[in-house]
Amino acid sequence: MISGKHKLAQPDPDDVPKAVINRLSLYLRELQHLLRNGKTTISSSQLGRLFGFTDAQVRKDLTCFGQFGHPGIGYRCEELVVAIRRILGTDRVWTVALFGVGNLGRALLGYKGFSAKGFQIVAAFDADPHKVGSMIDGVCIEPMDRLDDVVARQQIQLAMITVPAAVAQAVADLAIEAGVAGIVNFAPVTLSVPDDVSLVGVDLATELEQISFSVANRDKSG
């Protein structure tokens, strides 16, 4: 538990850089690994060293959300895990719908790591009548015309979109109209959503371009 001395600050999400949230996810993963290995405390310099960050960067990231260190101790791993999970919102279960059951969609349905992080895919939708009604990893494939009913009944909050780019915006619009509040978009297109809907775009080809740029230019500099 987080003691009263370590209450979380509540900054506006729009004021927190995406890079900070990305680093929090890294800290959480490593802290959970350390706990499994029996380590109970860690300093900011030790935590930063694991990722090539400075101790000042670690402290700056964490102080966006409160004060978690203890004099002479550093951070208590279990306490910091609880705090970061609460910050990231993964201290609860999030219900998720997947749109588009192609190769990527099937892979996401089969990924077991989501449930360990508090994300439960409870429904999948596809326009192909040959897929509708089938079960993949315990999830029933629904037709799009049942979207409103399924979202309401399953209290779905988040969506993952893996449909072709040409229909991604239309699917996002329908998901938002049905009540979805957050979207992870895997389609290679930029979506337009209302201000009160959170959107993250994941373009796998772009990510590969980033790493290929790094490798190519490192070779040149050598």
Tens-digit pLDDT profile for residues 149-168: 999 999 999 999 999 999 99
The CA distance from 43 to 126, in Å, is 48
What integer pLDDT is reported at residue 7 of this predicted model? 64
Calculate mean pLDDT across residues 203-210.
86
End-to-end CA distance of the chain: 49
Each residue of 33-54: pLDDT tens digit?
Answer: 999 999 999 999 999 999 999 9
In angstroms, the CA 212 to CA 210 distance is 6
Question: What pLDDT sits at residue 77?
Answer: 95
CA atoms within 13 A on the CB side of 147: 21
| Average pLDDT score over the chain | 91
Average pLDDT over residues 116-131: 94
The architecture CATH gives domain 94-206: 3-Layer(aba) Sandwich (3.40)
Query: Which CATH entry fits the domain spanning 4-88: 1.20.1250.20, 3.40.50.720, 3.40.640.10, 1.10.10.10?
Result: 1.10.10.10
Which residues neighbour 98 within 8 Å (Cβ) at sequence distance 6 or greater?
A: 105, 108, 109, 121, 123, 124, 125, 139, 159, 160, 162
pTM of the model: 0.81
Domain ranges in the chain? 4-88, 94-206
